[in-house]
Structure 1
Amino acid sequence: MRCVIARFPFDLSKSEVLATMKNIDPEPLSGGEYVIIGRRSYPAKQVGAVITRQDRRDFTSGEVTRAMTRLGFTCRSGQEQTPAALPPVQAASALLGGMDAPLGGPAPVTAADPLEG
Structure 2
Amino acid sequence: MTPDARPERTPDGRFIVVGGRRWRATDPLIPEEDASRLRSHLMAARRAVGAALRAQDPEAERAARARVRLAKVALGERGTPWWEQSDEERRTRWHEGLEALEARD
Fold shared by both chains (TM-score > 0.5): no
Q: TM-score, normalised by structure 2?
A: 0.26
Higher helix share: 2
